[in-house]
Every structure is written in C-alpha cells, then in structure tokens.
Amino acid sequence: MNRVGSLGAITSGRNIEMIQRIEASAVSYPFRFVIAGDTGAWPDPTADGIFSQLVSQTAALDPPAVFFANMGDFAGPGTVDRHMHYLDLVEPLPIPNLCVIGNHDFDDVSGPDTFSRVHGPTNFDFAYGHTRFVAINAAPGVPGMVEDPSAGTPEGIEGPREEDLEYLSRALSSAREPNRVVLMHMPPYADGHFAPHADWGFQRREQQFVELLATLDVKLVCSAHGLAFDTRVDAGIRFVMSGGGGTGLCSHFRGICTQGPGRPEDRGSVFHAVEITISESGEMSGRVIQAFEQPGASARLGF
C-alpha cells in the first residue's frame, strides 16, 4: 500500500511535496488551516470563478494558514487535463495545498491512476506540531463506474473500504501527537443527519469507522460531498462538512421554499471555504469564509 507520514515514505506525488513543506515549517500556536470541497466535480467556468475567489481569500489571510486542503471532487472526471487545470487554479496559493480524492475525481476509468501519478497515494498522513492529520479515501462508488454511486450496496452506501480504515487505524495508533484530525471526502451517515439528502453520508462500515474515531481519540473529522456547510458534535468529536467550493449548492438548505422557522439560509447553503483554528491546548474553532465577502467581515457561520 502507498503510504507516507508515520507509515513510511513515498518520494513522488504533489501531496508528498506539500507534506514535506508543512512538516519542515516552524510551528507556532494557535495555527489554522483551510478546507473546501466540491470545487470542480465537472468542467464549469462558473465553478472555477467561485473557487478562484476562495483561493484569493485564502491567500490573503493574515496570519497565513499552515495549509489548504481540498476535500475532493476538484478535478472531475479525473483526467490528466482536469488535474492540470486544477493546479493552475491553486497556483496563486502561497501556502502548501493538498488534495483528497472524491468520487467525481474517478468518474473516468483513468481517475485513480491519474490521481496517484499527480498527487501520490490516496491515503496519507502528516503532522504539524501537536496535531496528526490523516487523509483517507472515502469516496463512494467504484472507479470508472457508470451507475450512480449513491445507489450503494445492500449494507448501505459505500464509503471508506477496509484497507482505508486499516490505514487510518495504523496511522493513528502509531501517532505521538495528542490531537488527531481526519480528512476525507464523504462523511458518515449519522442517522440521516443530512436529510433530505441522507445519501450524503456513508452507511457501510460506519460503525467500524466511528468506533475507530473514539478509540484513537480523534477530535475533528473534515469532509465534503454534501453541497453545503454543516457541523455537528457527536460523542465529543467535531464533524465539519464543506461542500460549497463552487460546483453547486443544495436548494433544500436555503431559500423561500425551505420549510421551518428561523432563517433557512443559516443551514449553510453558501459558496464557501472553512478556516479551522487549533490552539496550543488543542481547542478547535472554525469560521466559514463566504465567497466574495468583504475583507474583515464577521463570519455568519462558524463553531
């Protein structure tokens, strides 16, 4: 299995180069990093424009973030030219930037191989100060499949496979850092938390995944896949979903047709990235960076 960080070394792939930059940088607290997802599930100049704006806003952060991580669906359908196009879009970022694979990044049968050749392994880990980050392949579906991956299996929608969970377990079991963060494309089902889009979360091996998080003291899980911002805390673990990077937004989470009291737009259907801060004591907080917001604007959504 291709591995980096605490489990070995791979010398090729753009993610590995970025990890080396992160781990070689001076550590200071508090530190912050930025995530976004679903920035380019398919070719779309509108999505490119929105994501480019989020790149500019991330690049302008002062003090700068330690790194930016795209949580998947950034180079759909996963061809070489789409990956090269994505790299052009993130060229203005002055900070290391990583890529986690999403299901649309392997819509093309060449997708998995292309991701590996450009970015390196789909499972990887690294550390910054007192925090260990582990990225795993949690994209639903089968590479190059024609059918809708949301159809799932008899046991529920597919998420991380056995080999991905084994990697997660080994990486965290050997980690010396007290704070642990998981980066992945698709979040767990969480008892239908994303209704009316319960298919945004995986069910197959969900219990195994959640048990690993608890056993190995994971404090934060970052994902995308759902076309909105969402956050929740379950058994002391913070889950953050950032899927508003440009591809589209879910109309069920915003607008005059959304039923219920209050402000339905506050469910998080905005084009955005999420800035996450970790203090020296391990406390975590976050704020939504809404696309095109004015510099210095107060965050409307956060935790």
Quick check: 2 pLDDT over 50? no
pLDDT (mean) for 274-281: 98
Domain membership of residue 203 (yes or no) is: yes
- Do the bridges between strand 124-128 and strand 31-36 make them parallel or antiparallel, or are there none, so unpaired? unpaired
Domain membership of residue 251 (yes or no) is: yes
| Structural domain range at position 111 | 5-290
- CATH classification at residue 209: 3.60.21.10
pLDDT in tens, 200-236: 999 999 999 999 999 999 999 999 999 999 999 999 9
Q: What torsion do the CA atoms of 98, 67, 37, 233 make, to the nearest 10 degrees?
A: 120
Domain membership of residue 222 (yes or no) is: yes
pLDDT (mean) for 99-111: 96
The mean pLDDT of the chain is: 89
pLDDT in tens, 162-182: 999 999 999 999 999 999 999
Domain membership of residue 295 (yes or no) is: no
> For residue 156, what pLDDT is reported?
67
Quick check: 144 pLDDT over 70? no
> For residue 152, what pLDDT is reported?
52
Quick check: 161 pLDDT over 50? yes
Domain membership of residue 114 (yes or no) is: yes
Quick check: 151 pLDDT over 90? no
Query: What does the longest C-alpha to C-alpha distance in the chain come to?
Result: 53
pLDDT (mean) for 44-71: 98
Quick check: 271 pLDDT over 70? yes
265: confidence class by pLDDT, cuts 50, 70, 90: low
Quick check: 133 pLDDT over 60? yes
Q: How far is CA 98 from CA 86, 134, 212, 234, in A?
A: 12, 12, 24, 27
Number of domains present in the structure of the chain:
1
